[in-house]
Every structure is written in C-alpha cells, then in structure tokens.
C-alpha cells in the first residue's frame, strides 16, 4: 500500500494579515492578530502532517519584523511551536515575481497556499499547478470567470488538488443550515450582509479600489454559501450591481478614485427541476462600517424556501467580552481559538479557519499517497476549484455590471459557464 504518512512541504504565498498577522502598518488590530495560515501550518508541522515550510512575498525587507512578530506572538506563547520557515525574496530584496523562484524550488506533489491580492491569484495558482503542485487559493479564486475555467482545466490536466479557501463551508452553523435548507423545497429568496470597519481601508490601502473591490473580497463568502446551498438545485442567470461611494475616497483614507464603499449584487436564480420556480438573491458587502461596533466582521444572512426559512447571524454567537479600555466585543471561537490549552499548546484545531486548511493538507497527502484522485473531492461538497465556479461567475458579472452599467447574463456553454 502507498505511504499515506509522508509529510507535505508547503509554500505560503503572501506575508500579510491572514498569513502572519502582520500588516503594512505593523501588527494587525483585527481578530486575526497572529494570523491564520502560518499558525495553522506551524501546528500541523508539530502534529506531523507538514514538513518544510516556505513563505514568499514581494518585499523581503518585511521578514525580520515578521519573524520577530511570530516569535513573540506564537513561539513564546504556545508550547513546542517551531515558527521557522524559508523566506523569499532575500531580506534586502524586493521582487514581485519571487513566487516563481520559490515555486521552482518545490517538487511535484508539494503544496502552495495563496493569500495575496486578488489580482495575483490566477497567475500564481496557474504557475504552481503547471509545476504539478497542489494549490489552496483564498477567495475569490480569480477575478475573471475565464481564468477560473482555465484553472479547472489545468488542475485536472496536472492531476493536482485545487481548493478555494472558503472556510465558511466548515462553520458548523453554516453546514447545518445547508442541510436544513435541503428540506425547504424550491429556493425563493436569499439576502446576505457582510461588512468590516473603515480601518480596513488602511490595511488594504495598497490594493483597495485598484486591484479589487469589496464585493470580491467579502461578498465572495456568502455568495459561495448560497451557491453551495443551491448546488444541483438552481443556477444564476442574471446579475445587476449597484454601489455606494464617497467614504473610501475621502479623508483620511484617500483611496483611488471610484473605490466603492458598499456594493450590492442582485442575482436572479432559476430552478433546475422546476421551470416555474425562480429565486432572487441580494448580496451586500461594505468596508466602511463603524469602527467600534464590537465585531470585526458583521455578517448575517437569510434564506427562504417554499416550505420555510433560515436566519443566521455569524457575528453574534451569544459570547461577549467587555474590557475597560476597549469596550464590548463579540467573539467567535468557532473560527479560530487563540487561547492555549491547559498544557500550553495551541488549542484551535476544531476552529473552521484551521479545519479549512487541514482538509486541503489531508487531501493533498491522500492524492500523493495514491489513496484518492483529485476528482474524488468534487463529490463531497468541498470547495474545489470546480465546485466554486459559479461564485466567480457572479462576482465577475457584478464587476462588469458596475463598470458597464448594465445587467450581465450567466449561461452554460458546453462544459463551461460564460457571461454575456
């Protein structure tokens, strides 16, 4: 039998908040103060699933501060946690294409995890896939539907796992809601809201409004959940977008001209089984929410079927903490648990932010061991590149609708989804 225990070498692409907890302006002030990707992989290495780790960014001058941050906030806090990694480019260099030299050092069957600005996802993922590396790419997988379709083709051709890091699929509430929605008959209406505070415009200043928008960045979460619930039941046919502006481009944020504050997508859905049943979905995202609302990401959604409805408020789990200096905050330990175990070790293995990454690591190791094929994972509701194509279709259609001030159609053409 093939060796199923071989550890996986992993390259992290991106050195920012989600990977390390370090931002361009210093340590993150969000709910990800010590990051998610790096911490999870350091722990998976401690647990024997991961071997060599690398991290690649554009500016090597950041790495001394990042290493100190990881030492202070992770290695000195959790027992037996090795935070070492090989970095690219070298500490004194700046190289926008350092990811190529980093990936070139990998072997087929190694893994690449991509948390970089939205516009860079496609070229990095494609380069890694064509080097026969497994890929986990953050949402949105790509900005263009044509690029998403290309990654589906290339991943299959190179026989590698390619997942999109839609971690909300692993939230026990969302997963349970999807199961309950199956009993509610035909789809009728979905409404989702997700926002982050205006301070995020500082964190994302390098790319906000230039390389991507708030719909791609945040609405991708709930659009994917809606597509997941409706998988094999309905498909989107038409997208109309509208946007609010004026805050991001003003003082003190001064984002580039035309940066939207809040974007809403109105999407028509058609039932697969019943021609007479059509549904409507409204997806809204904003990065101009109040600064002291008690949550980093306000997020809730409502689903109505013909036999009932479901309402989910992910931001408020009935768990509030009040501190003199900072006031009341609502916490979500189901996502990432940062408090150590009684033995002093990291204790967040059951968080859905952690599980999302571990599922990818496990799938990559199983394929490497010959225990499964990448196509097997299409069957289990996992966020494979194939299972997430309609999320990209809706997001891409929304951007076109804003830019060209028109409705955008989505239809099937042969084996691919296309826009019109």
CATH number, domain at 238? 3.30.360.10
Q: Is 373 within a domain? A: yes
The verdict on 249 and 282 lying in the same domain is yes
Give me the domain span that covers residue 325. 172-333+389-419
The verdict on 274 and 408 lying in the same domain is yes
Q: Is 344 within a domain? A: no
Q: Is 134 within a domain? A: yes
Q: Which residue has the tokens 């175990």?
A: 341
The verdict on 176 and 314 lying in the same domain is yes
The verdict on 176 and 324 lying in the same domain is yes
The verdict on 312 and 365 lying in the same domain is no
The verdict on 222 and 259 lying in the same domain is yes
Report pLDDT for 317.
81
Q: Is 1 within a domain? A: no
- The β-bridge partners of 136 are 113, 163
The verdict on 200 and 266 lying in the same domain is yes
| Residues of the chain falling short of pLDDT 70 | 1-5, 24-32
The verdict on 184 and 200 lying in the same domain is yes
Report pLDDT for 245.
96
Report pLDDT for 289.
85
Q: Is 343 within a domain? A: no
Report pLDDT for 25.
67
The verdict on 379 and 393 lying in the same domain is no
Report pLDDT for 71.
97
Count of domains observed in the chain: 2
Global pTM value = 0.94
Q: At 74, which CATH number?
A: 3.40.50.720
Q: Is 340 within a domain? A: no
Q: Is 341 within a domain? A: no
The verdict on 102 and 229 lying in the same domain is no
The verdict on 112 and 13 lying in the same domain is yes
Q: Is 327 within a domain? A: yes
Report pLDDT for 314.
83
The verdict on 298 and 414 lying in the same domain is yes
Residues 54/19, Cβ–Cβ less than 8 Å = no
């Amino acid at each position: 039998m093939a060796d199923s225990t071989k550890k996986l070498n992993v390259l992290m692409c991106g050195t920012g908040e989600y990977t390390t907890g370090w931002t361009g302006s210093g340590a993150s002030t969000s709910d990800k103060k010590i990051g998610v990707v790096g911490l999870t992989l350091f722990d998976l290495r401690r647990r024997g699933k991961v071997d060599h780790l690398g991290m690649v960014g554009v500016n090597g001058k950041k790495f001394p501060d990042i290493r100190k941050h990881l030492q202070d906030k992770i290695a000195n806090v959790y027992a037996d946690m090795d935070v070492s990694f090989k970095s690219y480019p070298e500490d004194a260099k700046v190289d926008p294409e350092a990811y190529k030299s980093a990936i070139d050092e990998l072997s087929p069957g190694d893994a690449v995890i991509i948390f970089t600005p939205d516009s860079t996802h496609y070229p990095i993922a494609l380069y890694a896939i064509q080097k026969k590396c497994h890929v986990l790419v953050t949402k949105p997988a790509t900005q263009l539907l044509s690029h998403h379709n290309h990654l589906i083709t290339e991943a299959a051709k190179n026989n590698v796992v390619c997942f999109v890091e839609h971690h909300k699929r692993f939230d026990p509430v969302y997963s349970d809601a999807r199961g309950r929605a199956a009993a509610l008959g035909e789809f009728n209406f979905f409404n989702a809201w997700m926002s982050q505070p205006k301070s995020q415009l500082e964190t994302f200043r390098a790319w906000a409004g230039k390389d991507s928008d708030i719909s791609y960045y945040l609405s991708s979460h709930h659009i994917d959940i809606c597509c997941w619930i409706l998988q094999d039941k309905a498909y989107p046919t038409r997208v109309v977008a509208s946007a609010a502006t004026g805050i991001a481009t003003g003082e003190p944020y001064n984002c580039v001209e035309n940066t939207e504050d809040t974007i809403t997508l109105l999407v028509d859905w058609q039932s697969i089984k019943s021609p007479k049943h059509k549904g409507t979905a409204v997806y809204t995202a904003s990065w101009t929410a109040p600064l002291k609302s008690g949550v980093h990401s306000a997020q809730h959604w409502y689903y109505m079927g013909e036999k009932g409805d479901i309402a989910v408020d992910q931001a408020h789990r009935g768990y509030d903490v009040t501190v003199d200096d900072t006031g009341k905050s609502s916490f979500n330990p189901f996502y990432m648990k940062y408090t150590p175990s009684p033995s002093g070790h990291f204790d967040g293995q059951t968080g859905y932010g952690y599980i999302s990454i571990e599922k990818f690591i496990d799938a990559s190791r199983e394929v490497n061991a010959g225990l499964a094929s990448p196509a097997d994972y299409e069957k289990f509701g996992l966020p494979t590149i194939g299972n997430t194509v309609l999320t990209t279709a809706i997001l891409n259609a929304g951007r076109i609708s804003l830019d060209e001030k028109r409705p955008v159609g989505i239809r099937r053409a042969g084996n691919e989804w296309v826009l019109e």
